Structure 1
């Protein structure tokens, strides 16, 4: 898209877990999340570079849950 001269807005990730948002928004603070540290660092890097933004959405309004949880 960049090569075509078309700009791209910041992608929004809607997350229903405030702890995840906190960990991924604070670059360098990955204590206690060793299992997910690599992914958390990558997300924090993208947030810092303003490629993505993390937004809280209440679980009851999270439409992605419809596809990930049994009905």
Structure 2
């Protein structure tokens, strides 16, 4: 596994772990803006604070966000 995520909604915390060439995992933090990028999905821009919005964005808003990412 090259990368795995631990999403803890109770603590409102995400840990993004990426395997380095040495087979050890390094914790990768989102940018200061709260956006996480992974080289495995280059167009993905996950805005972590969005995961804690109550209520979560609906399917339409989510689909529009994905379309915006793919267009960039």
Q: How does the TM-score come out when normalised to structure 1?
A: 0.26
Which structure's CA Rg is the greater one? 1
Higher RCO (CA-CA < 8 Å; seq separation 6+): 1
More strand by share: 2
